[in-house]
Amino acid sequence: MSDQDHHHDRAIERAIEHLTASDPERHLALVGAEDLERSYTDLLALLPFADQPQLPDSAIKTALLRTVSGEASDRLGESVPSRQAPAAVRRSLAPQPWTFALAAMFGLCLMGLAFLGGRVSEQREQIGALEALIEKTGAESAEQNRLLQAQLQHSARNLEMITTVAREAYPMHLEAGAVPASIGAAATEPRGVVWVCGRHQRWYLNVQGLQPPPSGFAYTLWFVTEGGFVNGGVLEVNADGPSELDAPFMPIGTNSFQVTLERGGPRGKPDGRPLLVADQSIAL
Amino acid sequence: MLSSIRSAAPMSCPEPNERSTNAAIDGGLIRRIADGDESALSELYDRYAGLLLALARRILLRQSDAEEVLQEVFLQVWNQAGRYDTRRSAVSTWLVLITRSRSIDRLRSRQVLDRTLGALQQENRGIHTSPEGIRSVLWEQRRRRLQRALADLPAEQRQVLELAFYRGMTQSEIAEGTGIPLGTVKTRTLLAMKKLRKALEDEIRDLL
């Protein structure tokens, strides 16, 4: 083998090894500025160009630019009232005599806090079980270990969401007149909570008691913003535990949340009736 | 007369300077994004969102997950454009690697690997491919060249590359998962990469 062949082999091995770096920034730093290493890294990154591009839903770009606009305004030091929306959530309750309204809110808070407290315990139990499993798995399988570690980090992030200060919780309640997918078969009504970090960015949805949707349907989370609905993703029904969704960012101006049952593929606005609604926050 | 002949010519062969301007355009957009120009982010999104969504979906097999990753990628670009170094890679390489990394992380955290076959059967979301997603004749030609180059690879060489890139498997894991000796996996990878590099020399040069 010539020196040049050896040089190419080493560059290829490094490019392939660096693929396992979890952080692309670190990956590219490892590649270095050497032309040969760079060319093999660029070559690997060409592979996806062989596939037909896929047209994204327009709602994704809308939400992205809204989020970015909010951050750009923050950079300029301007106040952005829409991002402070959680402090002034619209109330869906009609005006009531103050004594009845106070009693109803107190009851709701008690129920909500009990439910929220249950979610904290649940997350802690889940993390404990994962840690025990990781210890047991040990070096049996590097891939399995990595999977479990990733799941542990995911659960830890969700626990941090629930327990950190300066967060809000939006309890989700069954919408009046809404019927769960399995009529009469559910042992408990579905209930959920949307946890939102301070600065109204990172969010985490936890829903209990969802029954499997009918064939061709999917539960969908919606952010209700001043500009309309933004698709928050499909909620998969989990037979072993809660159904969860989370993301590091949420659309600017979100002031409530809905879960609906939708037919077919992705859409820009809900077609189905609201099943679960969260429009009142509890500051924690 | 020359200009009228040029304007009448069919667009089957791109002008040489179209290739070099793609890298320049991307570099310019990143610089503007680093300066806080939202319109530059919008333009970069229009150029690459179709490609990156297809990549994320290929890895994650779920449209909703892929769409979330797409949004996360561009938010990361918005936040980190100032740190991007043109000497390390092409802009497209940076975007592809971020997308791949986030997709594989999500894949692992949701244990999709164990349910991959089930997801393939159950996934019923419409996949919207669109000729509008192809930005130019050059990109379409690139796609065809890539497809030809990959099709020219022996299946076993293509397999080890795809497992490494799309599934995030190390060479040891590929050997363990496929039952192929590690030495054979390494040899196939080297042969595949060298063959691809030779077939795609022009494409790689265009990324500089």
| Per-residue pLDDT in tens (0 to 9) along chain A, 284 residues | 677 888 899 999 988 887 876 566 666 665 554 678 888 988 999 999 999 889 898 999 999 999 888 765 555 544 433 333 333 333 444 455 566 666 666 565 566 556 555 666 666 666 666 666 666 655 456 666 666 666 666 666 666 565 554 467 888 888 766 655 544 444 567 888 888 875 556 788 888 888 888 888 888 898 888 778 888 888 888 767 788 888 766 776 788 899 998 887 667 788 888 889 988 877 66
Q: What's the rounded Cα separation, in Å, for the pair B112 and B173?
A: 17
pLDDT digits (tens, 9 = 90+) for B7-36: 443 333 334 444 457 788 899 999 999 999
A74 chain-B contacts, CB cut-off 8 A: none
Q: Given this model, what pLDDT does residue B206 score?
A: 77
Chain A CB contacts of B207 under 8 Å are: 42, 46
pLDDT in the model for residue A251: 74
Task: Indicate the SS3 state at residue B91.
Answer: helix
With tokens 């939202």, the residue in question is: B38
Cβ distance of B111 and A27 shorter than 8 Å: no
Q: Locate tokens 């600065």: which residue?
A: A199
Q: What is the pLDDT of residue A261?
A: 87
Cβ neighbours around B76 below 10 Å, total: 18
Residue of A nearest to B69 (CA): A247
**Spatial contact of A220 and A233, defined as CB atoms under 8 Å apart:** yes
More confident residue, B163 or A212: B163
Contact list in B for residue A69 (CB cut-off 8 A) is 38
Q: Which pair of structure tokens corresponds to residue A274? A: 């609201």
pTM score > 0.80 for this model? no
The token pair at B104 is 């594989």
Chain B residues within 8 A of A39 when measuring between CB atoms = 197, 204
Contacts of A54 in chain B (CB under 8 A): 50, 53-54, 57, 127-130, 133
Of all residues in chain B, the one with the smallest CA distance to A150 is: B109
Evaluate whether A229 touches A202 at the Cβ level (below 8 Å).
Answer: no
Higher-scoring residue by pLDDT: B39, B117 = B39
CA B77, CA B79: separation in Å to the nearest integer?
5
Asked if the Cβ–Cβ distance from A265 to B92 is below 8 Å, we say no
pLDDT value, residue A134: 61
Residue of A nearest to B129 (CA): A54
Q: What angle do CA B206, B207, B208 make, to 5 degrees?
A: 90
Pick among A43, A145, A252 to test the B interface (most B CBs inside 10 A): A43
Cross-chain Cβ contact A249/B75 below 8 Å: yes
- Interface contact flag, A65 B111, Cβ < 8 Å: no
Q: Does the pLDDT at position B187 exceed 90?
A: yes
CA distance A38 to A36: 5
A20 touching B (Cβ < 8 Å) = yes
**What residues of B are in contact with residue A63 (Cβ under 8 Å)?**
71
Out of A43, A65, A142, the one facing B200 most closely (by C-beta) is A43
Question: Is residue A44 less than 8 Å (CB to CB) from chain B?
Answer: yes
Q: What is the pLDDT of residue B67?
A: 94
Instruction: Please give the pLDDT value at position A22.
Output: 58
Question: What is residue A113's predicted lDDT score, i.e. its pLDDT?
Answer: 58
Residues 6+ apart with CB under 8 A from B14: B136, B137, B138, B141
φ, ψ at A234 (rounded to 5°): -90, 135
In the stretch 46-105 of chain A, residues with CB closer than 8 A to chain B read: 46-57, 60-61, 63-65, 67-69, 71-72, 75
A46:B200 CB<8 A: yes
Which residue in chain B is spatially nearest to A9 when comparing CA positions?
B190
- Give residue A55's pLDDT: 87
Question: What are the chain A neighbours of B51 within 8 Å (beta carbons)?
Answer: 48-49, 51, 53
**pLDDT (tens digit, 9 = 90+) per residue, B67-125?**
999 999 999 999 999 888 877 788 999 999 999 999 998 888 876 455 555 555 444 44
How high is the pLDDT of residue A218? Answer: 87
